[in-house]
Chain A
């Protein structure tokens, strides 16, 4: 008789804590938790202005997960750091609006930002080894974040830290709280960072490539954990990643970025099963999915653009296989507007091509997976 393996219905070390049982979030205004409108982020440098983000707009609701997808230089990380005001104001030029639970973040003072950080919105970074303080005990780091926003004594802070480590599934939390980050394994460090991010029960969690540096089985555990915690507290999650398979399994909505702009957005089903932009087609075609085989991958030719000298018109046109089908060389001269296709109300895309659905179904889909 063989036993059957534990499957995804089992929770990993999760149980309710008395202080937060039954506390689900709600927004102040009753609308979206995070509303980003026409965000522009530029970094003036000696070589020119780096146009990291050029007019990004999106919103995230409580209880939902938005995935922001893009490659290096797409602007996904820069735009998310802006949400928490983590850019150096002396070296960054920002305009547009970031409305986080009723508070405007662009132009907010450091004092105001500190009240929001960890409390309303928290961030989990990609490499826990470098994001955690190397010579501060893990428990102390988590307690510090808690004590910053709650007027309680140190003992309560330490207890809260142990509670959080337990909640994220770290065995022996009392012992682990007294250890340093280098004594943790990669997966545990990421859990510790999640504990640090969630200690003040933020309404929004921004996870910047949280599992890229982790093994696939650990990745599965971490993604499960984030999902469980989201279900329990109803928080919103913004997941920044380049891994479309993770997006498919975990996100509700997805936004594809290229050259500092959004090129396509919609629900995960819309964008990944019926994509409407040549860059998204290219990304999907580049993937050697587990279930598919082929001799050659459909690689996108060329390299991502320089953000100091972006191409004129559509930033993707030098790498686009379909630019030649647009009359009058429009792709080189005019930036396409971001909007839904005629006749539709959802799933906006930024492309001059008129028959996107037909091209996808007839020419692109048969070559993908």
Chain B
């Protein structure tokens, strides 16, 4: 349904260091490609500055791509003019991260929810009923249409944001860290609501988050981003159960594990040294090489492409060496998927010259 191809977004930055000012480019998103099918959820994971929020805005055309394509239901949306884009805006909606700044404080909830209906000419003559229906759908009191956002709590405001996205009956929703700003117990409520709506309305989601636990719970497939590129992508079982890229492994390893209190021995934590390089001047070749413990000369010379990798002979972790030895190269990729009980529904791709599967990064608690 949605197909992103070699998407690029650069933001110009003026530098005034020398005699003449120069324009540098912040390479926020630097060539990413992925597909999202109807009713499926893709998680976009990465740390600050990796380009995931920018990607969400490019897909919903809040930003125009510098290069590349965003193809929705067969049409390339990347450079359409606003009036041609308008009908597609109905299909691609966004939920923002901050419930406090994403609702106009001077509009009532009723106005916030009826505006998209008016813009797209929906529910003509029946806006009031539709707004009440939407509020009920997200678990809010339909009598509160005349209230202002500041009269609602953070969790409630986020529900209003969800209702606003749903008002026009979209087919895909980009949820940009929708629960990060909420308390833990409210996060669970909002996540359950989104899950319910997804099932009932057969919505596709692009779920942008840095919380790996939430992503695993909600998403079918996961793409891991670093400095504007996707470094690994696959089904959630592949990514969480058998990650191959060192950055993915470091992310999974860094997340604190509650299960240590239940007697599960803590896994050795991978330490990344240093900070993320600047997206204005990313490292040559593989962008992750400056923090990677396996980096070699090849990594600086040649940028690894995102492709499926065979992992024969390099399976590390609970599976042991004997299985690796008896596998052929092409089997390993599918084995990583079938090991976790997931048939070849999605390819597991990784952008690394020396990928190594690790299956021991997440402690599983036996019941």
Residues of chain A having any CB pair with chain B under 8 Å: 2-8, 10, 12, 71-72, 171, 185-188, 215-221, 223-224, 242-246, 248-250, 268-269, 272-273, 282-301, 303-304, 366, 369
A285 to B185, CA, bound (A): 9
Question: Of A72, A285, A290, A298, which one neighbours B252 at CB under 8 angstroms?
Answer: A290
Contact at B188–A299, with CB atoms within 8 Å? yes
A300 to B40, CA, bound (A): 27
Q: Does B120 contact A (CB under 8 A)?
A: no
CB distance from B325 to the nearest CB of A (A): 16
- Given that A245-B258, A287-B213 are contacting pairs, would A299 and B189 also be in contact in the complex, using a CB cutoff of 8 Å? yes
Residues of chain B with a CB closer than 8 A to A72's CB? 154, 183
Contact at B275–A292, with CB atoms within 8 Å? no
- Given that A215-B210, A216-B212, A248-B261 are contacting pairs, would A297 and B48 also be in contact in the complex, using a CB cutoff of 8 Å? no
Residues of chain B with a CB closer than 8 A to A242's CB? 183-184
Task: Other than A2-B314, A2-B354, A303-B186, give 14 A-B pairs with Cβ distance below 8 A.
Answer: A6-B293, A8-B269, A71-B184, A72-B183, A188-B275, A216-B254, A245-B213, A282-B185, A289-B258, A290-B213, A292-B365, A293-B216, A299-B188, A300-B188
Residues of chain B with a CB closer than 8 A to A296's CB? 192, 195
Residues of chain B with a CB closer than 8 A to A5's CB? 246, 249-250, 270-271, 293-294
Contact at A288–B191, with CB atoms within 8 Å? yes
Contact at B195–A221, with CB atoms within 8 Å? no
Q: Does B272 contact A (CB under 8 A)?
A: yes
Quick one: which of B205-250 are within 8 Å of A by CB?
210, 212-214, 216-218, 240, 246, 249-250
A293 to B189, CA, bound (A): 16
A215 to B254, CA, bound (A): 10
Contact at A3–B185, with CB atoms within 8 Å? no
Contact at A283–B184, with CB atoms within 8 Å? yes
Nearest neighbor of A369 in chain B, beta-carbon distance: B365
Quick one: which of B243-301 are within 8 Å of A by CB?
246, 249-252, 254-263, 266, 268-276, 293-294
Q: Does B356 contact A (CB under 8 A)?
A: yes
- Given that A6-B293, A186-B48, A221-B271 are contacting pairs, would A249 and B184 also be in contact in the complex, using a CB cutoff of 8 Å? no
Question: Of B246, B275, B367, which one neighbours A187 at CB under 8 angstroms?
Answer: B275
A80 to B198, CA, bound (A): 41
Nearest neighbor of A185 in chain B, beta-carbon distance: B275
A287 to B258, CA, bound (A): 10
Contact at B365–A286, with CB atoms within 8 Å? no
CB distance from B265 to the nearest CB of A (A): 12
A288 to B189, CA, bound (A): 12
Residues of chain B with a CB closer than 8 A to A10's CB? 271
Residues of chain A with a CB closer than 8 A to B156's CB? 303
A189 to B184, CA, bound (A): 26
Offer 20 A-B interface pairs, CB within 8 angstroms, sorted by A: A6-B270, A7-B270, A7-B271, A217-B47, A217-B272, A221-B271, A245-B213, A248-B261, A249-B257, A249-B260, A273-B262, A286-B188, A287-B184, A290-B216, A290-B240, A297-B217, A298-B188, A299-B185, A299-B191, A369-B365
B31-56 CB mask vs A (1 if < 8 Å, else 0) is 00000000000000001100000000
Residues of chain B with a CB closer than 8 A to A7's CB? 268-271
Contact at B257–A12, with CB atoms within 8 Å? no
Contact at A288–B271, with CB atoms within 8 Å? no
A305 to B61, CA, bound (A): 40
Residues of chain B with a CB closer than 8 A to A289's CB? 213, 257-259
Quick one: which of B141-196 are within 8 Å of A by CB?
153-156, 183-189, 191-192, 195
Residues of chain A with a CB closer than 8 A to B210's CB? 215-216
Q: Which of B153, B186, B191, B249 has the most CB of A within 10 A?
A: B186
Residues of chain A with a CB closer than 8 A to B154's CB? 72
CB distance from B51 to the nearest CB of A (A): 14
Contact at A290–B212, with CB atoms within 8 Å? yes
Nearest neighbor of B354 in chain A, beta-carbon distance: A2
Contact at B183–A304, with CB atoms within 8 Å? yes
